[in-house]
Structure 1
Amino acid sequence: MSSYIDSEIGLEVKYGLPAKVRFCKKCVLSNQRPQPTGEFRFTPESAKLTTGFDEQGVCLACRYAEMKDSAIDWDYREKELIALCDRFRSKDGSYDCIVPGSGGKDSAFTSHILKHKYGMHPLTVTWAPHVYTEIGWKNFQGWIHSGFDNVLVTPNGHIHRLLTRLAFENLLHPFQPFVFGQRFAGLRMAQKFNIPLVFHGESPFEYGSSTIGEAEARGFEKSYFCSEGDLSKTFIGGVSVTDLVRDHGVSLNDLQLYLPFTHSELDKFPLEYHFLGYYLKWDPQEVYYYAVEHTGFEANPERTEGTYSKYASLDDRIDGFHYYTSFIKFGLGRATMDAAQEIRNHKISREEGIALVARYDGEFPNRYFQEVLDYMNISEEYFWQLIDAARSPHLWKKENGEWKLRHSITEEL
């Protein structure tokens, strides 16, 4: 775990984060949110780069939102999309693109609009959640029955549980094995069915990636999916693949769904990976309305724990713990992420966003707690030991037996 003692504040700083906490002047995001570098070390050291701020104290996600509003010719971008589709569109109705997703609002929107407005023939690919929620399974079924073929990729349950526990123990990141499978499942199916075009929905630049180059904004580059193939330097759950095989009774074949491509693999299979959000102006709330109208998508009947919204990240019972552990490590919870994007998309004011963060950020996800403990085969006592050990002293302090953030945007209320 990357850490250092900052001489100015005299405190340990974990995960390679900046010692001085700053909040964006336009939204509620802080500079503590890590950005993946694309390296396949799969350790905290792979995420040292944090959300950038400009000289005016505004995060790059907000600057990108400004670009969306005033500096991008969306008519021209749509013409680029049409030209891209024209290059790949099948003439006989066979699959011509892959849309990875769960049947949530983003993948429902992406697949439906590509099929019905742009005449594409998508094959949808789903990397199964750890444990489906009732609403997640219902939306997945609604997506398929609205008119899409789907490949559901379900990993070995024993291996997935093991990797999830290791990721929680070593990285406080129980969602990491799911993220890896999600990253590669669509590409593996693209390779299997010889479909060289993959569409993802929203771009990571919506959430503050550190560069906004045009090439990167169009889609992931090949390096995002590739490694040099050295299994001793490829980590899952904070453990090298070599050590997983040697120490945990795992075969290399058991891990294939989680591993990156080698450069030679993708050299043999030319692939284009594009963000629909580069070509069409992305608005999560409008995407939600579209999915409701066209695929029968339903919001959660209850408010999602840790935030105020009901329509995002609904399908996996471990979702809430992904956001809660992010709150512990970086001081940024689910309500922060939701409020930041809604401020950028002009749905709420910054003052409203700060109030929502004050009310909901860091709320513990009790609903599925016992199921998650059982899934990872750990005790509640051990869970809290790992949680508290992961707190970075530059972010957290203990007062009267309770943990409190040293810095909070709610101080601006």
Structure 2
Amino acid sequence: MSKAFFGLPEQVIFCKACVISNQRPSSTVEFKHVSGEAKATISFGEDGICDACRYNQLKQGSISWEERENELLAVLDRYRRTDGRYDVIVPGSGGKDSAFTAHVLKYKYGMNPLTVTWAPHKYTEIGWKNFENWMHVGGLDNILFTPNGRLHRHLTRLAFVNLLHPFQPFIVGQRIIGPAMARRFGVQLVMYGENQAEYGNKAQENFKPTMDRKFFSAGDPRSLVLGGVTIDDIIKEGTFKIADFAPYIPPSIEELDQGGVDVHYLGYYLKWDPQECYYYAVENTGFQANSERTEGTYSKYSSIDDRIDMFHYYTTLIKFGIGRATYDAAQEIRNEKITREEGVALVRKFDQEFPRKYFGEFLDYIGLSEAEFVATVDKFRSPHLWEKVDGEWRLRHQVS
């Protein structure tokens, strides 16, 4: 068997319950080069069932959601204000999940949320429309934060070239924006939607209602790694200063403790179902699905606000053999929206589709030619996943 990149398991195994494989990373940590330290991946039991499906079985059976909701009420009562000030920060884009989170906190549980948005790289038309509806139809307050466009574009290029992970700078900002705005407005509670552990990140995180605070232990800001290089390395290029990186520098644990800021996941307290969030958002916040399916999958309503989003999923296909249709089908199988047989067919039909619609805009955004794009992508194809047949790349293993 050919050597695997990123420390991935050399033997590819697919979950017997859904369509995910053991190549799925269990964290968002990335490495500078195509080889490196071992990458933790989603775990499988002896029965061939992945951790995400195993946790979903618990969601359907042994977890008392009535007790969890009582825990939520206790948390909300602890932070609830009666003086008109905001008492919870809800980060999000106005997509189905954040729309559900903010609206249900305000109109079912009586909180006064401030929604905060880390702007997409480049809004889609439907994404901007849903963002506006979040406030105008949903009846919510919002702050849209757009980072330095020149720096964010540079970081996205670095992340693509060094890590084949063009969404890394966005993900960093998205995780920081909630706690950062909480400190600025004197709010002590931050509420995200679901924990990514539901889908295969570190399984033990499913049993904690709060975000791992280790993420916020920043240390020396100049040593932070963005796009595969340190902030100090970027500053030495002479274009940017340390002050330009303020939005990407997470608050320290000490700063969060001083402000009494806690970061929770609503999905710990309420039984999370993405499609039910979609129905709720349509009814209550004016959310609209796209008029066409997203390239690389069959879905029309998930992650549709950013023109670069589909390239994030295309790069996961290249590095891990897992494309967007796999992610969508896996969670819909777990939530009994489709059967595994249907999921397999959808993955085999759409997973390897190239995102052509915004390709030119993406190349322009990161300043690469098509030839440079192809060369970068091919560098990250692990030989245990990919082989070239008659001049065309082909996955060695596909779900069946």
2:3 is aligned with what amino acid? E
2:155 is aligned with 1:170: no
Corresponding residue to 2:184 among 188, 192, 212: 192
Aligned position for 2:256: 266
2:395 is aligned with what amino acid? L
Q: Take 2:38 and 2:82, find their aligned partners in 1: how far apart are those partners?
A: 43
Aligned position for 1:246: 236
Q: Take 2:184 and 2:219, find their aligned partners in 1: how far apart are those partners?
A: 22
Q: Take 1:221 and 1:16, find their aligned partners in 2: how far apart are those partners?
A: 24
RMSD: 1.7
Aligned position for 1:50: 41
Q: Take 1:322 and 1:290, find their aligned partners in 2: how far apart are those partners?
A: 27
Corresponding residue to 2:126 among 110, 132, 135: 135
Corresponding residue to 2:105 among 92, 111, 114: 114
Report the 3-state secondary structure (helix = DSSP H, G, I; strand = E; otherwise coil) of the residue aligned with 1:256: helix
2:216 is aligned with 1:219: no
2:5 is aligned with 1:18: no
CA deviations 1:323-360 (Å, max 9, x no partner) are 00110000000000000000000011101000000100
> How much does 1:149 deviate?
0.9
Q: Take 1:227 and 1:42, find their aligned partners in 2: how far apart are those partners?
A: 19
Corresponding residue to 1:282 among 251, 266, 272: 272
Q: Take 1:163 and 1:253, find their aligned partners in 2: how far apart are those partners?
A: 15
CA 40–398 in structure 1, closer or farther in 2 if over 3 Å, else same: closer
Q: Take 2:69 and 2:167, find their aligned partners in 1: how far apart are those partners?
A: 34
Q: Take 1:43 and 1:152, find their aligned partners in 2: how far apart are those partners?
A: 34
CA deviations 1:52-77 (Å, max 9, x no partner) are 11111110000011000001000111
> How much does 1:43 deviate?
7.9
Q: Take 2:327 and 2:155, find their aligned partners in 1: how far apart are those partners?
A: 26
2:19 is aligned with 1:34: no
> How much does 1:266 deviate?
2.5
Aligned residues between the structures = 398
What is the percent sequence identity of the aligned residues? 57
Q: Take 1:209 and 1:196, find their aligned partners in 2: how far apart are those partners?
A: 26
1:297 is aligned with what amino acid? F
Q: Is the 8 Å Cα contact of residues 194 and 265 (structure 2) preserved in structure 1?
A: yes
CA deviations 1:293-340 (Å, max 9, x no partner) are 000000000011000010000000000100001100000000000000
Q: Is the 8 Å Cα contact of residues 229 and 262 (structure 1) preserved in structure 2?
A: no
Q: Is the 8 Å Cα contact of residues 36 and 47 (structure 1) preserved in structure 2?
A: no
1:125 is aligned with what amino acid? V
Structure 2: tracts of 5 or more residues without a match:
none
Aligned position for 1:389: 379
> How much does 1:47 deviate?
7.8
2:344 is aligned with 1:357: no
Corresponding residue to 1:91 among 82, 97, 102: 82
Structure 1: tracts of 5 or more residues without a match:
1-8
Aligned position for 2:141: 149
TM-score, normalising length: structure 1: 0.93
Q: Take 1:391 and 1:222, find their aligned partners in 2: how far apart are those partners?
A: 33
2:166 is aligned with what amino acid? P
TM-score, normalising length: structure 2: 0.96
Corresponding residue to 2:292 among 302, 319, 323: 302
CA 271–287 in structure 1, closer or farther in 2 if over 3 Å, else same: same
Moved more, 108-117 or 90-99: 90-99
Q: Take 1:257 and 1:126, find their aligned partners in 2: how far apart are those partners?
A: 12
2:105 is aligned with what amino acid? L
Corresponding residue to 1:373 among 351, 358, 363: 363
1:127 is aligned with what amino acid? W
> How much does 1:214 deviate?
6.1
> How much does 1:93 deviate?
2.6
Q: Is the 8 Å Cα contact of residues 197 and 206 (structure 2) preserved in structure 1?
A: no
1:240 is aligned with what amino acid? T
Detail structure 1 runs of 4+ shifted over 3 Å in the superposition.
Answer: 39-47
